A and B are shown apart, each in its own frame.
Chain A
Amino acid sequence: MQGFEKKLEEWVKAGLLTKNTADNLLAFESKNKDKNSSAAILIFSILGAILTALGISLLVAENWDRIPVLMKTVLAFVPLVVAQILAAVALFRFKNSMVWRESTGAFLSLSIGASLAVVGQIYQLQPSLAGFLLLWLVCAAPVMFILQSRTSWMLFTAGATWYCGLAGFSDSGFSVWHYIWMLIGSVVFMYRFVWNKNVHRAFSISSGWILALSLTIAPGFFSSRYEEWMLFVYLAMFQCFILLSLKPAFSVPEKWHAGFGNIGIAGVTFIALMQSYQKALRFTAENLFDVNHKFWASNEFWILLFFSLVYVGMVIYLLRKKEMSFAMFLFPVLSLLIFIAHYALQFSQIAINAGILLAAALYIQNGIKNNSLLKLNGGLLVISALILLRFFDYYISFTARGIAFLAIGMLFFMANRMLVRKEKMKSNEEH
């Protein structure tokens, strides 16, 4: 900044700038200073905070057994209190400094965990990891809101996902439903502090990915008896992800939806590919109808109902905005085809396969049109996967398999070459 001021002075002296313009430039730059004050400082301060917290706890642990219990207890509270004091300084003294808020937020979040863990260890308490995480999450939730720290948000969301996995899998006796309030907290923070502010683009992208990943991991742990119905839960959820990523219908920050879009498309494709396999499809179709009256009270049913309602709401919203696309109806079409498999397996299988082929072809076409290597290769990859899977359920001679793969390989080469050439020609024309 100082270098910049000097330069401005020089320019004014040399008569290149009027004094007025120079002042305006200076005012503009200092206004944006916090926003631009280099991601590097931010990242290193956060890293520093995390490493300090870990380092202190390791150092104390090394000499642990020689310290009396009362002293140990006092020591256990030290990182927490220090972190709270630093957070207070950040909040009341350097309120506008993102670096301060982010690094103290990270430090405080981790210190809570450290203090709780150390207290547990001193007193030989026997908490399960799920119980410990739950206590930590309750204590860490206010940190992100009060300090408006996005790093705390990341730690919290990751912790909530971890808790969900532990509570869902192990026999810890802790309810997996706690994840819901954590998720609500996480989304409220996102809405309040990511969508409505000018945040770093990198954070916008990564936070979208983190939330999408957390949502992708979580539902599986809610599954009870009706695992086949989880398929529809995921299908509905991935469909909602895709809708969310359909720009510009939902006014979200730039690239925030990248994670949702990519995970959504990959997820739906994965499910469709799995169900294109005849044995899998038959298995799903048979078990789908193996339900009793308890189904209406199961987790699967309620979560599916929730996502279906969200889906319907989103579609109505999009249609009102005159938004219309093939990708908006993957969930109902694919669900219907899987249901039909119960009555007409052959038809359903052919339809699913044809659908995947069509979708991949559209994707490839779209990729060529928009010069997107990712879309082009994604589409080709799906076609190859489809063909590879068909080798498992039908007998196809080795010659035919060889020719199929040769053809696909050539297709990959040619399509990519074509796209790169097109790009080059375009840039040549521009010059």
Chain B
Amino acid sequence: MKNIKVVIFFVLMCLLQLGAAGYLIYRHQTVVEFGMPYKFKCIFYDPVHPFQGRYLALNYPTAELKSQEKITGNTIYCIIDTDSAGYAYFKSVHLSAPPVENYITLQQPDFGFNDTGKKEIYLQPPFTKFYIDENMAPKAEKLVSQALNDSAEVWAEVQIRNGNYVLKDVKINDISVKKLVEK
């Protein structure tokens, strides 16, 4: 009898562990299949992390939004829209989930004070890490600084649905960074 209990608990434990990893994949897939694609203008550099290895750290200077909205909870919701040049930006901030699909959820954004002393929250896109081959990362960093000198377009391709997002690719002049560095 006791043995059966152990078996049940053991199986539940295994399912929980497999389920956790599976859930991450499931959430990702629904965003990829049903999400709306956006292009975020970005720049990136190449930091080194002891556990995560090398990746590209992305920055989005033009997509940011400063808002004087008063935050009560930890979570806020930002609606994404596209400008005339085809790039995405943060359009508006909401304290509860808006009734549209094109928003992302942000946790505890940074805040500061503007020139007149009013408290402001800074909203930045949260997809800041693009994992890439260890040996390619420094090369990619060089590529982007070169591209920016040549005033090329660098953007991140992101798919967004109901608060969740997937960073699909980083592109320089419509060519994937991964393909560029392999040349």
Q: A172 at the A/B interface (Cβ < 8 Å)?
A: yes
Number of A-B residue pairs with CB-CB distance less than 8 Å in the complex they form: 84
Binary CB contact string for chain A from 74 to 104 against chain B (1 if under 8 A, 0 otherwise)? 0011001100100110011000000000000
Q: Which segment of A136-144, A193-201, A230-238, A269-277 sits at the interface? A: A136-144
Interface residue tally for chain B (C-beta within 8 Å):
39
Expressed in whole angstroms, the minimum distance between the Cβ of B30 and any Cβ of chain A is 12
| CB pairs A–B below 8 angstroms (8 shown) | A65-B133, A91-B6, A115-B21, A116-B21, A116-B24, A124-B129, A126-B128, A172-B107
Determine which of A64, A80, A88, A120 lies in contact with B17 in the assembled complex, contact meaning CB atoms within 8 Å. Answer: A80
A61 lies within 8 A of B108 (CB)? no
Q: Helix, strand, loop or mixed for chain A's interface?
A: helix
Give CA–CA (A91, B4) in the complex, Å.
12
Is B1 interfacial (CB 8 A cutoff)?
Answer: no
Q: Answer yes or no: B126 CB below 8 A from chain A CBs.
A: yes
Residue from A65, A115, A126 in contact with B167 in the complex, judged by beta carbons closer than 8 Å: A126
Residue A146 at the B interface, CB < 8 A?
yes
B25 contact from A73, A87, A117, A138, Cβ within 8 A: A73
Q: Mark B47-75, 1 if CB is under 8 A from A, else 0.
A: 00001110000000000000000000011
Does B14 touch A at the CB level, under 8 Å?
Answer: yes
The interface residues of chain B, by DSSP majority, are classed as mixed
Chain A interface category by residue count: 35 or more
Q: Are B24 and A125 within 8 A (Cβ)? A: yes
At the interface, yes or no: A374 with Cβ under 8 Å from chain B? no
Proximity string of chain A (199-239) to chain B, C-beta cutoff 8 Å, 1 when within and 0 when not:
00000000000000000000000000000000000000000
**A121 at the binding interface (Cβ < 8 Å):** yes
- Kindly list chain B residues whose C-beta atoms are within 8 Å of the C-beta of A124: 127, 129-131, 166-168
A123 at the interface (CB under 8 A from B): yes
User: Which residues in window 111-166 of B have CB below 8 A to A?
Assistant: 126-134, 136, 165-166
**Chain A residue with minimal CB distance to B110?**
A171
| Alpha-carbon distance A171/B123, docked complex (angstroms) | 13
Is A80's CB under 8 angstroms from B18's CB? yes
Give the shortest distance, in Å, between A238 (CB) and chain B (any CB). Answer: 32
Q: A64-B133, A92-B7, A139-B20 are in contact. List 11 more A-B contacts (CB 8 A).
A: A61-B53, A76-B21, A80-B17, A84-B17, A116-B21, A117-B52, A123-B24, A124-B131, A142-B13, A142-B16, A143-B13
